[in-house]
Chains A and B, each alone.
Chain A
Amino acid sequence: MRGAHIVSIALLAALAGPSHAARPPGQGTDCRKVEAEAYTQLPLLVPAGRGDRGRAPYCLANLRAEEAKVRAGAGEPWSVPVAEAGFKVAARQAGNYHWLQAREETPDGVITASTVHYFSNPGPAPTAMLQASKAELEIVPQPLPREHWRYRADETWAFLVRFEGRPLPGAKLRLETSGGTRQVLAADAHGVVRIAFPADFRPAEDDHGGHHGREPGNGFVLAVGHTDEAGRYFLTAFNHKYGQAAGAGRSLGAGLGFLLLGGLLGLPLVLGKGGKNHG
């Protein structure tokens, strides 16, 4: 039965397929092109350009929706119109994490795509935002990376799968990354799945080029399907990006070497008898 669900995830995603013709959401980005170049057929909310501290453009890929919902902190969600497969999210007064979600209802079921966007302005902690029920079937990060962190290769992060507010033990999830990884994972008895992000960066991307989250990142999408007692099928996906492993391109040996050098420079102070005090 669960195996059938996994297959149906792929099928439903394929049915959702490339959406209608699309033009830029305001930043010169062609959302149709974004969708055509997507690394997966699962539904995605894709950043369409960098945005700024108060606004960020997004494209929908692999699902159709007329509006997107935005939620921040403990406040009520608000709607943003989708135009030409794109939408712009604007922070309302406060910054920090915003939950973005688009929803498509088809005769086959309900598809939701979710992601989070971080505005570099002060704002409420995302605890209430994550706890709030935002769809029937949800994948909830447990927790989100803090301001100075991000998902990284070789790190393990937890996600909670819940249906109608309750954990979904044993749910089978599909992980797809822009680096080419395809995995099926199972949630534990508490509905939690732990993902070790793969180091599947291509050689061309194998360059930090900076720090503080500015380095290139791979995209990932985590999806799960579920059929309720009435036979209605739900597919939900959470997508974001992850960076290279924290130690990529770094040398622990060199670090220890310079640490030792510093220690040796300080050694004369520690050896021998006491020096002159308070001359």
Chain B
Amino acid sequence: MAETASRFTLGRLRLAVQIVMLFVTVYGGTLVGYYTAEKISKALPALSCAYDKLDGAYCVLIPTQHQLHHRVGEAIAQAGQFALSMVIPLAFTFLSFYLFFVFLNKAFCGWICPLGTLQDLAYRLGRWLKRPFRGLSDKAVRRLRPAKWLMLVVLVLALPLMAGLGVTPHVTGDAFCQVCPSRVATTLLTGDTTQLTINQKGALDFAFGALANTLFGFVFVAALAVRQPFCRICPLLALNAAFQRLSPMRLVKREHAKCDKCGICTKACPMDIPEIHREHGAKAFNEDCTLCGRCAEFCPDDDVIQLKFGPVRLFGSSRAYYKARAKGESPQGEIKAVHWVKKMESTNA
């Protein structure tokens, strides 16, 4: 079992899926068809950017902001009243979003989001460059949590709606996209530097551009030492969290006597979630969880933490798997050189 686990790990499977999906979300238009991205996937619960001309999918935040801006807001401003027909397109956006979401829940964040993958790769680069590990304390994690809800309410919902009402300038009609690091990162991956440039024709345009690029620079340098820095304030994580209890895909943790003295799961968690260590049951599946599965991989006891789809167990912690996994990598993601030396020696022998 240990040998099997050393060859096939959930972590390796996730990395493979992440790389494939990075290509699909950034360059996928060339595979699935030039027009497909805007036809089937405006509801993708991951930051695949519509500013990328080659992408194979669109992030749900694009139609959400546009519908609030151009349909709901403008209609209220023009007609002076609210009608059900204004929100029907928005309802369909959320319905199609949920159709995607129901299968993978927040695994979109941990397995598919291109920005999540790029931050993950940056962190791996940081390990390779021997950069320090900066984990967030329980207090810091809890203090940061409201930020993603604030981003969702202000940048994704309120400002686009107010732009449609004519209260705020047009540039706020897709306020979140204006500051989203994924917009800059994914378009740069296609060789397009346009989104890196800053619009100089208005103070607000300039301010949005300056904020976006500063955030982008900070996120990718910080990601060398901090796991998933932007995910902690990402409004899509908040939107996903709002629906996470409705999906059959979930993280399950049962109570275990050893948990109080262990805490390796939180050390392995790229979002530093303390609840996975201290809680069990529904509380352990925290709003910050991206369903990456690292807590289950690094839990040293059998079936204490599981990834489940309805009644089906997809992956569960096991002592044998943990022993094999921990030989090659620390919970924080440091690659253990000793393991590789031993592996090479055994191969040579």
Contact = CB atoms under 8 A, between A and B. Distances in A.
A251 B197 contact: yes
A127 interface: yes
B108 interface: no
B214 A278 contact: no
Given A269-B221, A269-B225, A148 B332 contact: no
Interface in A88-119: none
A172 B331 CA distance: 66
A265 B134 contact: no
B209 A260 contact: no
B214 A259 contact: yes
Contact of A146 (B38, B200, B210, B221): B38
Contacts of B126: 270
Contacts of B53: 146, 149
Interface in B112-153: 126, 131-140
B331 to A, nearest CB: 10
A50 interface: no
A87 to B, nearest CB: 25
Contacts of A261: 213-214, 217
A255 B225 contact: no
Contacts of A263: 217-218, 220-221
Contact of A258 (B132, B135, B210, B225): B210
Interface in A125-153: 125-127, 143, 146-149
A143 B138 contact: no
Contacts of B234: none
Contacts of A267: 221
Contacts of B340: none
A214 B163 CA distance: 14
A265 B219 CA distance: 10
Interface residues of B, number: 58
B218 A266 contact: yes
B334 to A, nearest CB: 10
B70 to A, nearest CB: 7
A274 B224 CA distance: 12
Given A250-B194, A254-B209, A269 B135 contact: no
A239 to B, nearest CB: 22
Contacts, number: 152
Interface in A217-268: 246-247, 249-252, 254-267
A262 B200 contact: no
A247 B171 contact: no
B266 interface: yes
Nearest to A265: B218
A261 B219 CA distance: 11
B263 interface: yes
Nearest to B200: A251
A261 B137 CA distance: 26
Given A143-B35, A254-B210, A266 B196 contact: no
Contacts of A257: 213
A211 B169 CA distance: 11
Interface of B: 33-39, 50-51, 53, 62, 70, 126, 131-140, 170-171, 173-174, 193-194, 196-201, 206, 209-210, 212-222, 224-226, 263, 266-267, 272, 274, 332
Interface of A: 120, 122, 124-127, 143, 146-149, 207-208, 210-212, 214, 246-247, 249-252, 254-267, 269-279
Given A263-B217, A269-B225, 18 more contacts: A124-B39, A125-B35, A146-B37, A148-B38, A148-B62, A207-B201, A254-B198, A255-B197, A258-B210, A259-B217, A261-B217, A262-B217, A265-B218, A265-B221, A270-B224, A275-B132, A277-B135, A278-B272
15 contacts: A212-B174, A247-B197, A252-B196, A254-B198, A254-B209, A255-B198, A258-B210, A258-B212, A259-B213, A262-B218, A262-B219, A263-B218, A270-B131, A274-B133, A279-B140
